[in-house]
């Protein structure tokens, strides 16, 4: 039994066909899990199903032993599940600090302490705290997005392609940040296109094909599995 | 001395009225921009909602006068504003709940909501006509002038007098107070920040736990304040005539667009841009030049660029020019 589980999830958009079929994703606190697979495999859909952005036809989502399949995304956020979408994941017209404050909207206690922690994690944000996020670089924006999601002190962080559209150097930097987040005892699920790099920092990985679990294993196992290499990692 | 006379003339007939009129437009423009920024549609009922709020102030003023409640030298209407605001907010929330909400939940296109607001506009106009009628009403009482032209002439010995009406002073003071509180609220409070966040990125705001219903409600409450206060100030300064509020929608929308629609501070400044442009272009400068130029050069005509009948053409022209050359508005700044 893992801390956060999506068990045998089947779901699709509206009345359309099922995008994911009996798909299972599990993550524990302090662990990074990568969801990989070709385009259209249902990677993002699996994540959105776990967040409640689309309804399950069957299967369940469980956090810390508690069934949350029927909860709205907002209520799941209150359970400590935070999500960073792939696009439009920051408030571009607000300052860095305001982004963090909005991230902590549900918190009743003193926000300043949490903001200090985020600043320690991402020092650049402290430097740019009063700058409007729309004026920041892509890599800095992603840090704002991560910081905003961390403001509720989540136990689970879900990242939809965190390194999409950033340069390789910035990608490495972002992965370092993601490792730092993991070390604060947060469970991380991420969908990634950069499969090799993602697996190199992941504890485990799932490879989805047409909405079903095809392979799973530790990062090293998947990286060294000849079939996975041939089909998904480009030899 | 001639120069001073010319300046006082200009101050009296253009600058003071423009600041007053600009303040009234600014409140309406912030109302437009706020609804556009948060609820994402152009509210064509703006003018008539302002008229609706003012109607309550007018009726209550008459009632207060009849039972002998007043503010002495200040207009009784100031006392009625809080009640009028409450009535206005209730009406707005009622309309939102029964009309706009349906289209918002359906995620209708903004243009559809704009058309719906045209319907709301007609209904509001009809209600106003049923309750108070279409006639011109004055509801200003108390001291009319802070500074009379004759007093000013006596004080300074100039030919030209400077008049400051109490409504002009009240307009400016009330606008400054209201707008300062509004900007403090939007920029410094948690609720204000959540409104801006919702306006900026609705999906992410929902994921951050911001309650959209609450944001919508607060937006209408603020709108109620702006509409009523703006409407009452305009009515006190000129007079209350329901149809005029509908006409004012053009300069109000022009102000909101000049300021970059969705940008409250831009809308605030936009109000003054439009007001100054309108008054400077329609003022007859004959006397002004008579003071400044030697007798041989004195103009025969009125030296008026446009007749005041065409004052709406000014806001319309500015609107077109801004949309052609700076569609995002002439002021830099944060959107709501």
Which residues from chain B sit within 8 angstroms of residue A93, using beta carbons? 196, 200, 334-335
Q: Is B205 in the A-facing interface, judged by CB distances under 8 Å?
A: yes
**How confident is the model at residue B32, as a pLDDT?**
96
Q: Is A92 in the B-facing interface, judged by CB distances under 8 Å?
A: yes
Cβ separation of A94 and B207 shorter than 8 Å?
no
Instruction: Give Cβ neighbours of residue B47 (< 8 Å, ≥ 6 apart).
Output: B28, B121, B245, B246, B247, B248, B249, B252
**How confident is the model at residue A13, as a pLDDT?**
85
Confidence of residue A222 (pLDDT cuts 50, 70, 90): confident
Cβ separation of B193 and A73 shorter than 8 Å?
no
Gap between the Cα atoms of B322 and B259, Å rounded = 9
Q: Is B191 in the A-facing interface, judged by CB distances under 8 Å?
A: no
Cβ separation of B209 and A98 shorter than 8 Å?
no
- This complex has an ipTM of 0.87
Q: Chain A to chain B, count of Cβ pairs less than 8 Å apart? A: 59
Q: Residue A62 phi/psi, 5° resolution?
A: -130, 130
Q: Look up residue A223 and give its two tokens.
A: 């990286």
Confidence of residue A215 (pLDDT cuts 50, 70, 90): confident
Average confidence score pLDDT of chain A: 89
- Domains along the sequence of chain A with CATH: 1-80+158-165+189-235 (3.40.50.300)
> pLDDT truncated to tens, each residue of chain B (336 aa)?
788 889 999 999 999 999 999 999 999 999 999 999 999 999 999 999 999 999 999 999 999 999 988 888 899 999 999 999 999 999 999 999 999 999 999 989 999 999 999 999 999 999 999 999 999 999 998 888 999 988 898 888 888 889 999 999 999 999 999 999 999 999 999 999 999 999 999 989 988 889 999 999 999 999 999 999 999 999 999 999 998 999 999 999 999 999 988 899 999 999 999 999 999 999 989 888 888 888 888 888 888 888 888 888 999 999 999 989 888 888 766 666
**How confident is the model at residue A233, as a pLDDT?**
67
**How confident is the model at residue B335, as a pLDDT?**
66
**pLDDT, tens only, A110-130:** 889 999 999 999 999 999 999
**How confident is the model at residue B234, as a pLDDT?**
96
Q: Look up residue B192 and give its two tokens.
A: 């204000």
pLDDT higher at A216 or B35: B35
Cβ separation of B190 and A106 shorter than 8 Å?
no
Gap between the Cα atoms of B128 and B246, Å rounded = 12
For residue B211, give the chain A residue with the closest CA.
A74
Cβ separation of A74 and B209 shorter than 8 Å?
yes
Of residues B190, B203, B206, nearest to A88 (C-beta) = B203
**pLDDT, tens only, A42-73:** 888 999 999 988 888 899 999 998 999 999 88
Q: 3-class secondary structure for chain A?
A: CCCEEEEEEEECCCCCCCCEEEEEEEECCCCEEEEECCCCCCHHHHHHHHHCCCCEEEEEEEECCEECCCCCHHHHHHCCEEEECCCCCCCCCCEHHHHHHHHCCCCCCCHHHHHHHHHHHCHHHHHCCCCEHHHCCHHHHHHHHHHHHHCCCCCEEEEECCCCCCCHHHHHHHHHHHHHHHCCCCEEEEECCCHHHHHHHCCEEEEEECCEEEEEEEHHHHHHCHHHHHHHCCC
Gap between the Cα atoms of B33 and A232, Å rounded = 50
**How confident is the model at residue A234, as a pLDDT?**
62
Q: Can you give the residue ranges of every domain in chain B? A: 2-325
Cβ separation of A94 and B200 shorter than 8 Å?
yes
**Average pLDDT rounded to a whole number, residues A196-206:** 89
For residue A106, give the chain B residue with the closest CA.
B209
**How confident is the model at residue A53, as a pLDDT?**
87
- Checking if the pLDDT of A37 tops 60, the result is yes
Gap between the Cα atoms of B275 and B272, Å rounded = 5
Q: Is A78 in the B-facing interface, judged by CB distances under 8 Å?
A: yes
pLDDT higher at A164 or A190: A190
Cβ separation of A102 and B334 shorter than 8 Å?
no
Cβ separation of A98 and B196 shorter than 8 Å?
yes
> Measured over all CA atoms, what is the biggest interatomic distance in chain B, rounded to whole angstroms?
73
Instruction: Give Cβ neighbours of residue A222 (< 8 Å, ≥ 6 apart).
Output: A36, A199, A205, A207, A215, A216, A228
Cβ separation of A85 and B197 shorter than 8 Å?
no
Tokens 């599995």 locate to: A225
Which pairs with CB-CB distance under 8 Å and at least 24 residues apart come from B130-134?
A: B131/B55, B131/B59, B132/B55, B132/B58, B132/B59, B132/B242, B134/B241, B134/B242, B134/B243
Distance from CA of A207 to the nearest CA of B (A): 27
Q: Look up residue A15 and give its two tokens.
A: 């009345």
DSSP string, B129-168: HHHT-S--B----S--EEE-HHHHHHHH--SS---EEHHH
Confidence of residue A212 (pLDDT cuts 50, 70, 90): confident
Instruction: Give Cα separations from A69 to A9, A33, A49, A73, B70 (angstroms).
Output: 10, 21, 9, 10, 61
- Checking if the pLDDT of A102 tops 70, the result is yes
* Most A CBs within 10 Å, among B38, B190, B197, to test the A interface: B197
Gap between the Cα atoms of A219 and A205, Å rounded = 6
Burial B68-93 (b: 16+ CB within 10 A, else e): eeeeeeebbbbbbbebbbebbbebbb
Instruction: Give Cα separations from B40 to A47, A180, B246 (angstroms).
Output: 29, 39, 21
- Checking if the pLDDT of A235 tops 60, the result is no
CATH 3.30.1330 for the B2-325 domain, yes or no:
no
DSSP three-state, residue B326:
coil
For residue B194, give the chain A residue with the closest CA.
A102
**pLDDT, tens only, A140-161:** 999 999 999 999 999 999 999 9
**How confident is the model at residue B305, as a pLDDT?**
86
Which residues from chain A sit within 8 angstroms of residue B193, using beta carbons? 94, 98, 101-102
Contact B31, B226 (CB under 8 A): yes
Cβ separation of A77 and B334 shorter than 8 Å?
no
**pLDDT, tens only, B213-247:** 999 999 999 999 999 999 999 999 999 999 899 99
């Amino acid at each position: 039994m893992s801390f956060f589980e999506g068990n045998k999830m089947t779901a699709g958009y509206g009345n359309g066909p099922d995008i994911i079929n009996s798909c299972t994703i599990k993550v524990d606190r302090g662990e990074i899990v990568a969801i990989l697979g070709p385009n259209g495999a249902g990677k993002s859909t699996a994540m959105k199903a776990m967040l409640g952005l689309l309804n399950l036809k069957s299967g369940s989502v469980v956090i810390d032993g508690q069934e949350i399949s029927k909860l709205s995304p907002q209520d799941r956020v209150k359970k400590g599940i935070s999500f960073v979408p792939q696009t439009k994941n920051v408030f571009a017209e607000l300052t860095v600090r305001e982004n963090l404050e909005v991230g902590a909207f549900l918190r009743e206690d003193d926000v300043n302490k949490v903001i200090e922690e985020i600043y320690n994690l991402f020092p650049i944000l402290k430097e740019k705290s009063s700058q409007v996020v729309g004026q920041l670089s892509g890599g800095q924006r992603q840090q704002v997005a991560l910081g905003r999601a961390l403001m509720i002190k989540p136990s689970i962080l879900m990242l939809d392609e965190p390194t999409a559209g950033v340069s390789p150097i910035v990608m490495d930097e972002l992965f370092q940040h993601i490792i730092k987040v993991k070390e604060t005892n947060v469970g991380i699920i991420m969908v990634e296109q950069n499969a090799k790099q993602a697996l190199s920092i992941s504890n485990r990985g799932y490879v989805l094909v047409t909405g079903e679990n095809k392979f799973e294993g530790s990062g090293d196992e998947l990286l060294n599995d000849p079939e996975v290499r041939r089909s998904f990692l480009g030899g | 001395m001639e120069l001073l006379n010319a300046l006082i003339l200009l101050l009296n007939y253009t600058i003071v009225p423009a600041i007053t009129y600009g303040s009234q437009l600014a409140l309406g423009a912030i109302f437009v921009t706020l609804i556009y920024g948060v609820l994402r549609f152009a509210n064509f009922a703006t003018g008539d909602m302002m008229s609706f709020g003012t109607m309550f102030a007018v009726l209550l003023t008459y009632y207060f006068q009849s039972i002998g409640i007043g503010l002495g030298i200040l207009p009784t209407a100031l006392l009625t504003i809080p009640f009028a605001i409450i009535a206005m907010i209730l009406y707005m929330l009622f309309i939102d709940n029964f009309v706009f909400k349906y289209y918002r939940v359906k995620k209708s296109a903004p243009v559809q909501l704009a058309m719906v607001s045209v319907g709301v506009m007609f209904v509001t106009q009809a209600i106003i006509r049923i309750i108070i009628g279409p006639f011109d009403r004055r509801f200003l009482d108390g001291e009319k002038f802070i500074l009379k032209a004759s007093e000013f002439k006596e004080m300074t010995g100039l030919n030209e007098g400077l008049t400051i009406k109490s409504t002009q002073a009240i307009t400016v003071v009330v606008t400054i107070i209201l707008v300062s509180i509004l900007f403090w609220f939007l920029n410094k409070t948690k609720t204000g920040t959540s409104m801006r966040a919702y306006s900026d990125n609705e999906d992410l705001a929902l994921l951050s736990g911001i309650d959209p219903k609450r944001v919508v409600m607060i937006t209408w409450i603020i709108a109620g304040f702006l509409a009523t206060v703006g409407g009452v100030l305009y009515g006190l300064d000129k007079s209350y005539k329901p149809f005029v509020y509908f006409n004012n929608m053009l300069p109000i929308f022009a102000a909101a667009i000049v300021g970059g629609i969705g940008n409250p501070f831009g809308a605030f400044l936009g109000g003054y841009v439009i007001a100054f442009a309108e008054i400077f272009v329609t003022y007859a400068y004959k006397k002004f030049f008579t003071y400044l130029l030697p007798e041989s050069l004195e103009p025969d005509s009125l030296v008026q660029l446009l007749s005041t009948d065409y004052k709406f053409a000014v806001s319309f022209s500015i609107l077109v020019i801004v949309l052609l050359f700076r569609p995002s508005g002439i002021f830099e700044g944060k959107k709501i």
